[in-house]
Structure 1
Amino acid sequence: MKQVVQNYKSGELALLDVPAPGCKPGGVLVRSAFSLISTGTELMKVSEAGMSMVGKARSRPDQVAKVMQSVAANGVPATYRKVMGKLDSYTPLGYSLCGIVEQVGAGVDDVKVGDVVACAGNEHALHAEVNWVPKNLYVPVPEGLAPRHAAFGTVGSIAMQGVRQGEPQLGEVALVIGLGLIGQLVVQLLTASGVRVVGADPDPERCALAERAGADACGDPGSDAVKAAVAELTDGHGVDQVYLAAGGSSNQPVELAAELARDRGRVVDIGKCRLDLPWNAYYEKELDVRFSRSYGPGRYDPSYELEGRDYPIGYVRWTERRNLACFLDLVARGRVDVEPLISHIAEFDDAVETYQSLKDGELKAVAVLFRYPGQPTEAVEPKPAEVTVPAVRRGAAVPDRARAAGSPVRCAFIGAGNYASSMLLPHLAGRDGVELATVVTTTALSAANAQRKFGFAEATTDLDAVLGDKTVDAVFVVTRHSSHAELTQRALRAGKAVFVEKPLALTEEELASVLATVEETGNDRLQVGFNRRFAPLLQEAKQQFGARTGPASLRYLVNAGRLDHGSWYLRQSTEGSRFAGEGGHFIDTASWLLGADPESVYATATPGGEDLQVQLRYPDGSTATISYVTTGSSGFPKETLDLIADGKVLRLDDFVRASVYGRKKWVSSRLPKARDKGQNAELAAFVRAVRTGGPMPVPLESLAATTAATLAVRAGLAGGAPVTLARSPR
């Protein structure tokens, strides 16, 4: 299928051929009929992409701050790879469309194949021929409403949420500053609510359009006409509400709002304009400044948008889905008229040229629609689609370890997110003896990005096809934590060697199930991404420390830091705790240094569970204490480790320096160019094992013991006592 994409690094716009998305539970596949270009938000993004790197940095100081934090924690080279990987990727455009349901996922019962729906979301309602849309981000289109009008649903919901934030009352007067697409819809919604409206915009054509839609008067923000209209309609008191629907770097909108609002009036920011509030003006009138967050309650909440959990109507009357349905109802009943706003309808095949015309100013428009192939100009006749259910492949032979000499290891990746793209794939792309065969993701664009950047032969969203490909030797599972155990089992049953990023499992039941699959299939070709034991600096330090005769004490301080708001690590109900996801790294490193698997785990936590102390006891009496803290300074190193035994001390400082104190002192000769945490060496060992049929880099018993110890931390916190670990059944 085709999709509109942009490379944020180069500014390139393209209509790209990408794999069609699969239909996941909790949502539907929708074939697009019309999608709406947001001439404000999208063109701002397109313009930013065309800036120099300095210009991009100036336009996004929030992202610059994150980059500097990453430099402090991970070093310049790793941060550079991460940032460039994100910038030099195709990103999607679009977030408002209407289309036809082509396939219905499990758990969806409110629509059927052939229904016309309006869809929302900058990850789901994209300018693409087919999109997968979760339940709370689509609504059925009312009968008789033209699909091109229904394509306005998301943008209309944004305008509606802004109006709701202003709490308009019958007979009040409002000022709308900025009469672009959102501003025009705000004008119509206010008029429909019994509010008299004054508009302000420097474009005379937009002013005239708003007046035809019901505004009492409109004019240039700097003119006396706007002030005179406000004075006449309010008897000199000022407007009850001001809606900021303008963009740009000028501070004029917020200054005009303060000047024309009444005492204790409300100012609602809907657009993205400069907000240097003049303190005296806002203080003297005690103005109520409010922000409108996108489509309404539910926006940016993964449990609502992705998991389909609705908010009870008694507590949240207007969610983003209810706003979407309400706006479509208003359009269907003629209370809002979007037809006059349509400046141009472009064929989807002409998408790149259309964006360029908008960017260059050749096409002046309030609203532009893309019409997709096969869709009539005036209406869309729903046609039921044929749904093919793929066969499930069960069982597989143990992989043949005696591969042909010189034959490359053909690798498939399930998932191609930030970690895979910055920490794994750069070490595999171009490596002798490795062939990147297929990348499979749930979103079409991420697969296409990985194919372009790393040279995969194929990109797809069809997991069954990859697992059924007998030419694939190794499968890398680099997805969200909640899917690791299931995908690992499927790949093992398919007879593949498996590299799964940590964690291997999130529950004891998942771990037992993985081990049972190994037992059932005889396929034990499994590696978990515990990379730190492969770090060259730590390897050399361990060698310098030498053999150990007595028990050891190990201290590992992990200065993890706080998570960013919205991080999927916060979804503990589905993705497990943060320590469940990361803790295996540190337990594995400790066990490798001590040369054994732990036999018991004792864990304590500070109130609220932010900081953890995990104590591991080993068969020879050695102990390891892992301090996993989130409340430390970001300026302090992330990982420091001390190993003490037999009159010797090994010290590791964040993978940039190591030292051993004993009869002689050894210090790493020079600082490495980058923090090498062992990913490259780990991948080399895995590929070598697959190619030669030799032992996997880490014994299965050790992988299972580390995972069990990580999971035991939760049980230890709950019980307040040490947890004894059962020996691995293998």
Structure 2
Amino acid sequence: MKQVVQNYKSGELALLDVPVPGCKPNGVLVRSAYSLISTGTELMKVSEAGMSMLGKARSRPDQVAKVMQSVATNGMSATYRKVINQLDSYTPLGYSLCGVVEQVGAGIDDVAVGDLVACAGNEHALHAELNWVPKNLYTPVPDGLAPRHAAFGTVGSIALQGVRRGEPQLGDVALVIGLGLIGQLVVQLLAASGVRVIGVDPDPVRCELAARLGAAACGDPGSAAVESSVAELTDGHGVDQVYLAAGGGSNQPVELAARLSRDRGRVVDIGKCRLDLPWNAYYEKELDVRFSRSYGPGRYDPEYELEGRDYPIGYVRWTERRNLACFLDLLARGRVDTDPLISHIADFDDAVKTYQRLKDGELKAVAVLFRYPDAAEHPIEAEAPAVAVPTVRRSGGASTPTTRSVTSPVRLAFVGAGNYATSMLLPHLAQRDGVELSTVVTTTALSAVNAKRKFGFAEATTELDAVLEDPSVDAVFVVTRHNSHAELTRRALLAGKAVFVEKPLALTEDELAGVLAAVEESGNDRLQVGFNRRFAPLLRQARKRFGTRSGPANVRYLVNAGRLQHGSWYLQQGSQGSRFAGEGGHFIDTVSWLLGADPTSVYAVATPGNEDLQIVLRYPGGSTATLSYVTTGSPGFPKETLDLIADGKVLRLDDFVRASVHGRKRWSSPRLSNARDKGQRAELDAFLEAVRTGGPMPVPLESLVATTAATLAVQTGLVSGAPVTLTRTR
């Protein structure tokens, strides 16, 4: 097998053929898929190896002290031979990788051959095609997490342990000095913990990256902007913690830490920073200086690392291995994003050239990955992730839809009376013939009373059960926040009500399965999701003008979504899902309706921070759709523009204001003079007609399920970095 090695005496870097390591007990043999170059630690070693003997001595005074002690004990001649022998030997590089278990040693029962694992350790997770890794230095990779992202596990654990040492709390303000690889991860981990972060680095590109990944402010260490940001965010008190993630020989980081810390703040050294502490400054504020030792408890303990003896969780909550697993979980759940940190992926065969380019400054990078020869054929990487499109079953005790007489009104209940309900739905229903607004349910009493007063509801309450148990209520509208949609829909279906639920129907596959379980149990499939655009009169007219399609189509859909106002609950991704998860179903449903089919696969990529998404949908018959969902565009540009191209014709929709069809004959609609009609009224008409007559719901339930699954697949694709297959379950 091949392995990257370095001769510390000559500075030579080489890709050597070496024997395959044996698979010893209490460990596994791992074939590398991706390994990560630490552009801090490893490049420091590479640079030191190229120095003269005097330069090496100056850069490592700790090793010089050991040499002098050896001289005093063993004599000059013996010490010289020992030092030269060590310097003139090949040493390995690397300590963070992801790979596939090739062989399992005795005593291992938590992984099997073929499993994907992340590995740590500068003796066990080397830049080599195969590594033997002891039990406490690997952990299984969560489903759906791409190997190239899992390769960040070790450096992520270093950042995570540093954050743990700082003991941040919700609402704290922290300063991260040094925005290299570790610093960028520390910024994201702190932001995910509810901490406001200020980043410091002389490189404006790294400052910009940290700002995109969650830092509240960033700047050069000598700039007044950093100090003013600290003063503004802390009311002049200073930051609660400082994380030193910088290297080099300057003492500026520790001096800046003292100046910007609050009284009795904490200073955590994560990197290899010069620490000539200014005594007066640290004493007067009684600063708590802490060190973060690598990946966490267990590091440098041979009984833990080599013999696999774990520390009891009741005494040591976060060990090396548990930190590694925790960081991978954060990656898999999208709390940390490593994609923007990957500056370059090099083939392993080009390892020596890659190191040289980094050393010479030709390749400027935050993180560089080696891709191994087998990575392309790696079974887990090659196998596209999948999201299930559940089959709709109606095998329960089927309920017969009620047919209303012409004179009998359809009685509606609303669960939720927020902005969308009161501006886009209720104005079309209030004072409408054949409709009675029965009850409005909200979590706060006053909002229910306001809705009752404005729109004429007969009752206002905060008790949902009363509505579900009322036999006179024909249909329930679920217009609440996203995380409650699936559960409220499930309960209403089980109560035998027709349900109109605003998008999204569900935020997870489990939630979607729960809704369909309620359909199967009750036999009640009277469900409509608020995908209103397929009902827009202008778009329906354009589709009719386009005519029947015979060949595959290409659809381009640009959604200029724009920025959200600060404080919008749409930004609460932890509880409400991503912004696209909440809104994206609109656009996928529109495309599927235009093409008359459901998507078969989804491929999604994003700019750093997932601000702008580019999504490719594949459909049966070779049709494709490209959906651009962007938040960084001009607010003056139209929100939605769509083109459908097929059979020598083009359908164009300009933001529901004008539509046109170009073919042998050209048709163009007049420009609408009033507000855009995106189909809400027509959608409600169709739903009410179905409830009144007992006829089919406006959109088949199978289509609603397929659109929801495709929307969920976008997040899966962003995490995995691969196309996601939409598989039909049976």
2:373 aligned counterpart, secondary structure: coil
RMSD over aligned Cα atoms: 1.2
Q: Is the 8 A contact 2:28 2:105 kept in 1?
A: yes
In structure 1, the residue matched to 2:109 is 109
Cα deviation code 1:289-334 (max 9, x no counterpart): 0000000000000000000000000000000100000000000000
In structure 1, the residue matched to 2:694 is none
In structure 1, the residue matched to 2:266 is 266
1:258 aligned counterpart, secondary structure: helix
Count of residues in Structure 1 that have an aligned counterpart in Structure 2: 383
Q: 1:376 deviation in Å? A: 2.0
In structure 2, the residue matched to 1:198 is 198
In structure 2, the residue matched to 1:138 is 138
In structure 2, the residue matched to 1:169 is 169
Kindly provide the amino acid, as one letter, of the partner of residue 343 in structure 2: S
Cα deviation code 1:128-169 (max 9, x no counterpart): 000000000000000000000000000000000000000000
1:82-161 matched pairs, under 5 angstroms: 82-161=82-161
Runs ≥4 in structure 1, deviation > 6 angstroms? none
Kindly provide the amino acid, as one letter, of the partner of residue 124 in structure 2: H
Q: Is the 8 A contact 1:251 1:274 kept in 2?
A: yes
In structure 1, the residue matched to 2:344 is 344
In structure 2, the residue matched to 1:661 is none
Q: Is the 8 A contact 2:146 2:381 kept in 1?
A: no
In structure 1, the residue matched to 2:725 is none
In structure 2, the residue matched to 1:524 is none
Distance 1:126 1:57 in 2: 26
1:271-286 matched pairs, under 5 angstroms: 271-286=271-286
In structure 1, the residue matched to 2:298 is 298
Q: Is the 8 A contact 2:97 2:118 kept in 1?
A: yes
Q: 1:378 deviation in Å? A: 9.8
1:480-499 matched pairs, under 5 angstroms: none
Distance 2:220 2:167 in 1: 26
Kindly provide the amino acid, as one letter, of the partner of residue 172 in structure 1: D
Distance 1:231 1:378 in 2: 51
In structure 1, the residue matched to 2:65 is 65
2:143 aligned counterpart, secondary structure: coil
Does 2:367 align with 1:367? yes
Q: Is the 8 A contact 1:246 1:273 kept in 2?
A: yes
In structure 2, the residue matched to 1:38 is 38
Q: Is the 8 A contact 1:39 1:367 kept in 2?
A: yes
TM-score (norm 2): 0.52
In structure 1, the residue matched to 2:254 is 254
1:264 aligned counterpart, secondary structure: strand
Does 2:237 align with 1:237? yes
Distance 1:356 1:204 in 2: 24
In structure 1, the residue matched to 2:228 is 228
Kindly provide the amino acid, as one letter, of the partner of residue 329 in structure 1: D
Cα deviation code 1:392-431 (max 9, x no counterpart): xxxxxxxxxxxxxxxxxxxxxxxxxxxxxxxxxxxxxxxx
Q: Is the 8 A contact 2:33 2:378 kept in 1?
A: no
Q: Is the 8 A contact 2:247 2:271 kept in 1?
A: yes
Q: 1:69 deviation in Å? A: 1.7
Kindly provide the amino acid, as one letter, of the partner of residue 372 in structure 2: Y
1:99 aligned counterpart, secondary structure: strand
Kindly provide the amino acid, as one letter, of the partner of residue 105 in structure 1: G
1:603-682 matched pairs, under 5 angstroms: none
In structure 2, the residue matched to 1:214 is 214
In structure 1, the residue matched to 2:709 is none
Q: 1:374 deviation in Å? A: 2.1
Give unpaired runs (5+ residues) of structure 1.
Answer: 384-730
In structure 2, the residue matched to 1:595 is none
Distance 1:168 1:292 in 2: 14
Q: Is the 8 A contact 2:120 2:154 kept in 1?
A: yes
Cα deviation code 1:70-94 (max 9, x no counterpart): 1222222211111100000010000
In structure 2, the residue matched to 1:12 is 12
Q: Is the 8 A contact 1:257 1:267 kept in 2?
A: yes
In structure 1, the residue matched to 2:26 is 26
1:334-483 matched pairs, under 5 angstroms: 334-376=334-376, 380-381=380-381
**In the superposition, relative to structure 1, how do residues 192 and 377 fare at CA in structure 2: closer, same or farther (>3 Å)?**
farther
1:674-713 matched pairs, under 5 angstroms: none
Percent identity for Structure 1 against Structure 2? 87
In structure 2, the residue matched to 1:323 is 323
Q: 1:109 deviation in Å? A: 0.4
Q: 1:280 deviation in Å? A: 0.6
In structure 2, the residue matched to 1:312 is 312
Q: 1:379 deviation in Å? A: 7.9
Distance 2:233 2:73 in 1: 58
Distance 2:107 2:210 in 1: 43
Distance 1:173 1:379 in 2: 44
Q: Is the 8 A contact 1:34 1:372 kept in 2?
A: yes
Kindly provide the amino acid, as one letter, of the partner of residue 95 in structure 2: Y
Distance 1:110 1:44 in 2: 36
1:297 aligned counterpart, secondary structure: coil
Q: 1:66 deviation in Å? A: 1.4
Q: 1:4 deviation in Å? A: 0.4
**In the superposition, relative to structure 1, how do residues 211 and 63 fare at CA in structure 2: closer, same or farther (>3 Å)?**
same
Distance 2:377 2:250 in 1: 39
Q: 1:381 deviation in Å? A: 4.0
Q: Is the 8 A contact 2:34 2:371 kept in 1?
A: yes
Q: 1:25 deviation in Å? A: 0.4
Distance 1:377 1:30 in 2: 15
**In the superposition, relative to structure 1, how do residues 363 and 378 fare at CA in structure 2: closer, same or farther (>3 Å)?**
farther
In structure 2, the residue matched to 1:624 is none
TM-score (norm 1): 0.52
Kindly provide the amino acid, as one letter, of the partner of residue 314 in structure 1: G
Give unpaired runs (5+ residues) of structure 2.
Answer: 384-730
2:214 aligned counterpart, secondary structure: coil
In structure 1, the residue matched to 2:640 is none
Q: Is the 8 A contact 1:114 1:382 kept in 2?
A: no
Kindly provide the amino acid, as one letter, of the partner of residue 180 in structure 1: G
In structure 2, the residue matched to 1:430 is none
Q: 1:377 deviation in Å? A: 9.0
Distance 1:62 1:182 in 2: 24
Kindly provide the amino acid, as one letter, of the partner of residue 236 in structure 1: G
1:374 aligned counterpart, secondary structure: helix
Distance 2:215 2:105 in 1: 44
Kindly provide the amino acid, as one letter, of the partner of residue 169 in structure 2: Q
